[in-house]
Amino acid sequence: MTRWLKALLCTFATTHIAVASGSSPKIVVVQAQSESSVLQSQMFEEEIVPQCYADNSHVDAFINDMVSRHNFDSRALHALFNQAVYSKTAAKLVLGAKTPILKSWQAYQARLIDAVRINTGVRFWQQNKAVLQKASKQFGVPPEVIVSIIGVETLYGQYMGHFRVLDALTTLTFDYPDTSNRTQRMSRFRKELEDFLVWTRSAGIKPTTVLGSYTGAIGIPQFLPSSIVEYAIDYEGDDHIDLRNSFADAIGSVANYLKQHGWESDRPIVWRVHMDTGSIGIAKAALDKKAESRWALQQLLHAGMLLDERTVDIASEAETPVSVVELLTSGQPAQYILGLKNFHVLTRYNHSFFYAAAVYELSERIKTEMRALSEMTAQPAIYPVR
């Protein structure tokens, strides 16, 4: 196929994301996840266009940059990108829903805080008790928070993504859909693609074998390549970081990530706001769009807000910075919480307030179940009782 014809086919495919299936050149392929993953043998259909990135001027410029700054072999990278395909599926998914979906905290809760995640989380904690205790002591992050994040991200390693990361990142780097923030997003994914290639070379991993999410998140904790390079650690002690197969490495890396982003040991994540009319009115007036704290607790309390908490020492916590977070469900009264520094840290893992609140609530449910089991078996828990 000539260079101009390949370019024409790729351009046609990338500019017709919203067109009905069958209107643009495509190949539907079936991929299976690695054999080592427990539930990854499920088959997965992905719509792709091959050979979009061979003889591509933008890819050529990227390769030249990688050769110059990271001493990559030019011929090897050209050969690699000749194998990369345009993932129409990833390009569709990154756009999200075509029609706006009303936010529902209740629905989000139901999806992520269920019996399966709680019970599996308890088993995960029991099976990895020693390494969780080690990570908690070293990084100051409670075991239940580490367990909860891994549960929310991949159901404890059961669902780590089916996309070939090389294809997903290449697609989103060079052919991000036409949106208002396209340039910014392409720049972000270019950095992820760069870090992906640096990481796989350093780790001796063949790039075409790595599977992950449609945005390139990898492994048990769903780290993007930039986070792998920056925060992933060997916690198994085998001089090898393996977030795809090692629970120890995943646990240590999650704890390290949170600590490096400012996690405060032995501090709360949220305080609940009382549901009385006055407190709700104050919460609505003081709502924050960002997780960074901008209120001192005493400011809100002096305005008349009440907390639905029995153990907060108001005098010592008066100057504690908090943010007001609304958990909205259409057609029902909203819930309000005050997010402390550790809530903000959770939003560095995922920017959604719903995500951070779900991680917190799931962690509390798992901790409660672990405590009940500990009392039943008369075995001491490995977490501090707060």
Q: Which among 241, 167, 262 has a CA at the least distance from the CA of 207?
A: 167
**CA atoms of 174 and 222, how far apart (whole Å):** 22
Q: How far apart are CA 49 and CA 84, in angstroms?
A: 9
Q: Name residue 354's amino acid.
A: F
Angstrom distance (rounded) from CA 222 to CA 243: 8
Q: Answer whether 142's CB lies under 8 Å from 383's CB.
A: yes
**153 included as an active-site residue:** yes
The backbone torsions φ and ψ at residue 33, rounded to the nearest 5 degrees and listed phi first, read -70, 170
Distance CA 121, CA 373 (A): 13
The count of other CB atoms within 10 Å of the CB of residue 361 is 18
| 151, 364 contact by CB (below 8 A) | no
Annotated active-site residue in 144, 153, 194, 236: 153
CB contact at 8 A, 240 and 234: yes
- Determine contact, residues 318/296, Cβ cutoff 8 Å: yes
46: DSSP letter: E
Q: Catalogue the active-site residues.
A: 153
